[in-house]
Structure 1
Amino acid sequence: MDVTPVMSSASTPATGTTGSLAAMAQQAWGALSYAARTVGVPAGVRGLAVEVAYTAVHLSVYPWGLLDEALRPGGVHAHHRTDSLPPYERSRLVSDLDGSSTPVLLVHGIVDNRSIFHYLARTLRRRGHGTVQAVNYSPLTAFTGDIRTAARDLGDHVERLCAVSGVDRVHIVGHSLGGLISRYYVQRLGGDARVDTLVTLGTPHRGSAIAHLLPPTLVPRQLQPGSDLLRELEEPAPDCRTRFLAVWSRMDQLIIPQRNARLEHPDLDVENVRLEHVGHMAMTIDPEVVHLVACRLGRTRSPRDRIAPVAAAG
């Protein structure tokens, strides 16, 4: 038995304790400095105010996100017509039939619902996207669910959406946990055959320290940095056909550290976009983000471009 650590000098424990305290103090000082640089400027104060105000508004409309699903089970398909559209919306359908006919599926975050996407969905429809649908998964997923199971359920929803719309590809926009569920579907369940572009907004691609404060159920454990699920997503994903846009913010209060919302994988076609003064919830209403998403989803690739990587591999 090796007893060398035990037989070290009596001052070692004290030194180790002092070093640990110094490291903790340094980390705390770094966090305070980061917060001061991010929030302690006019733009940061404005961003914080928007985040607080929008969170309050979102809480007030949260019940409607559940009622809307019950009142309109058919989603937007019953209104998928062009004769009722104003000219500025119809122009996109005429000029870019492939882009406008690709459905957009919106996937919300933890203990949330489709109401978080009200503004983004309306903007995408005004930009000419004929089918924009938001899916609700159970708010209990965070406590009794599993990201892998939620990803399989998402795949079933995508298949139904493709069948109803008569298309073979969709776009997905995922906020927070919704982005991670969508990414698992694309990378691990063959979803790249269906998803043209996946946009993630404030998604903990490398986990978040906040997850350690949540109940010790499966999903919070999967969201912890270094979890088995996150390590699985780091595995090779050759010939993945989906494009990724990962939007993250230096002021995200739920992704700690904030850079964990970046998506970095050698096999994926990824564009990372950093925001400075936008909170976690406000990402879905920030004008810069909404415009960016609308522009990226308007760049649908042709069928020839989609199958090129597969043909080259064959």
Structure 2
Amino acid sequence: MPGTTPARSRFAAAAAGCALLATALTTAAATPAAATTPDPVAAAQALAAPLVPGANDWNCRPGAAHPRPVVLVHGTFANGSVNWLTTAPVLAAEGYCVFVLTYGEQPGVPVLRAIAPVADSARQLSVFVDGVLAATGAGQVDIVGHSQGGMMPRYYLKFDGGAAKVHTLVGVAPSNHGTTLDGLATLAQSYPGALDLVGSACPACADQVAGSDTMNRLNAGGDTVPGVSYTVIATRFDEVVTPYRSQFLSGPDVHNVVVQDLCPANVPDHVLVAVDPVVRHEIRHALDPAHVGEADCWANLTG
């Protein structure tokens, strides 16, 4: 019949087009999308603390004298830029690749850091360490942490695969077995606005109370993990992590140091211990015991 063939042709063409489209859609659904691998260095750089002299040179390559990069981890309410202004340049001048992060931000809370749950902060540390290793080509890092920054990396070591990536952990006044609410309130008084957060918007504060679920989980089964060297540096005048001996660790390859055993006249408190020259010497000794001798009290206080 006239007109039948063109109509049938149009119908056949449309059917063929639908079949091709269905085949394409089925193939696309069956083929996984190309995976996008996050750049570990870029992820770490997003956490890097700004304006720390000698730190966060992502082109730094460790030399034979200091084959492991050093990651500096700050304490509660602080940030990497403030906490490590004196230690980072000293280590960098000695040839270390030094990296400093700021972690633990809580939504809606300005300025104050290291207040997020310890578990969340440990995952941020994991991201940072992975980026440092990728950038430097090193197999492991050393970590130096103050206060929460000395304790929280232990969570990373135990629960987030950090034990294989860390050679040495140095804790300066670390909250290893928790502290009291009075201790956290004392620390908060050093940071404007922090005292208002202690009872509400600071999960890390609750995590660091002695006997908390986080403390119990962290220390269950022993304080240390195999393969990591630990040094704890404490001051008898610590008014935040109390009693000061609660900072100490038990286990193999643990070195617990009291500042006043080295230098009785030296009396830094919890905050000032992070910038104390004798403590800085002990950090260097822990990182390189073969080449940095025991502290000379007078030389380190005056030099």
Which bracket does the TM-score occupy, shorter chain normalised? 0.5 to 0.7
Report the AA paired with residue 269 of structure 1: D
| Equivalent in the alignment of 1:271 | 255
| Equivalent in the alignment of 1:126 | 93
| Equivalent in the alignment of 1:261 | 247
User: Is the contact between residue 117 and residue 204 of structure 2 (CA under 8 Å) also seen in structure 1?
Assistant: yes
User: Is the contact between residue 211 and residue 221 of structure 1 (CA under 8 Å) also seen in structure 2?
Assistant: no
Q: Give the C-alpha shift of residue 188 in structure 1.
A: 2.3
Report the AA paired with residue 260 of structure 1: S
Match of 2:199 among 196, 199, 215: 215
What percent identity do the matched residue pairs reach? 27
Q: Give the C-alpha shift of residue 66 in structure 1.
A: 6.1
Q: Give the C-alpha shift of residue 145 in structure 1.
A: 1.8
1:156 is aligned to 2:127 = yes
CA distance in 2, matches of 1:233, 1:136: 22
Q: CA RMSD in A?
A: 2.8
| Equivalent in the alignment of 1:113 | 79
| Equivalent in the alignment of 2:271 | 281
User: Is the contact between residue 196 and residue 242 of structure 1 (CA under 8 Å) also seen in structure 2?
Assistant: yes
Report the AA paired with residue 213 of structure 2: D
1:57-68 equivalent positions in 2, closer than 5 A: 68=51
| Equivalent in the alignment of 2:154 | 183
User: Is the contact between residue 172 and residue 199 of structure 1 (CA under 8 Å) also seen in structure 2?
Assistant: yes
- SS of aligned partner of 2:242: coil
Q: Give the C-alpha shift of residue 269 in structure 1.
A: 2.3
User: Is the contact between residue 244 and residue 270 of structure 1 (CA under 8 Å) also seen in structure 2?
Assistant: yes
Q: Give the C-alpha shift of residue 164 in structure 1.
A: 0.6
Q: Deviations over 1:249-279 (max 9, x none)?
A: 1101211222222223x4x421100123221
- SS of aligned partner of 2:272: helix
User: As a proportion of its length, which structure holds more helix?
Assistant: 1
Report the AA paired with residue 286 of structure 2: R
- SS of aligned partner of 2:86: helix
Change (3 A) 1:239 1:146: closer
Given the two structures, how large is their TM-score scaled by the length of structure 2? 0.64
Q: Give the C-alpha shift of residue 117 in structure 1.
A: 0.7
1:167-246 equivalent positions in 2, closer than 5 A: 167-209=138-180, 210=182, 213=185, 214-216=198-200, 217-236=202-221, 240-246=226-232
Report the AA paired with residue 284 of structure 1: A
CA distance in 1, matches of 2:249, 2:123: 21
Report the AA paired with residue 88 of structure 2: A
| Equivalent in the alignment of 2:58 | 77
CA distance in 1, matches of 2:116, 2:274: 24
Q: Unmatched 5+ residue regions in structure 2?
A: 1-47, 107-111, 186-197, 261-266, 291-303
Q: Give the C-alpha shift of residue 218 in structure 1.
A: 2.6
Change (3 A) 1:149 1:103: same
Q: Unmatched 5+ residue regions in structure 1?
A: 1-64, 83-92, 301-314
Change (3 A) 1:256 1:280: same
Which structure has more RCO (C-alpha within 8 Å, separation ≥ 6)?
Answer: 1
Q: Deviations over 1:211-254 (max 9, x none)?
A: 56421453222111111111112222686211110111110121
CA distance in 2, matches of 1:263, 1:208: 15
User: Is the contact between residue 102 and residue 169 of structure 1 (CA under 8 Å) also seen in structure 2?
Assistant: yes
- SS of aligned partner of 1:226: coil
Larger deviation, residues 244-253 vs 132-141: 132-141
Q: Deviations over 1:108-151 (max 9, x none)?
A: 0011112211111111112221x101111145386862101110
Larger deviation, residues 150-159 vs 252-261: 252-261
Aligned length: 216
CA distance in 2, matches of 1:283, 1:171: 19
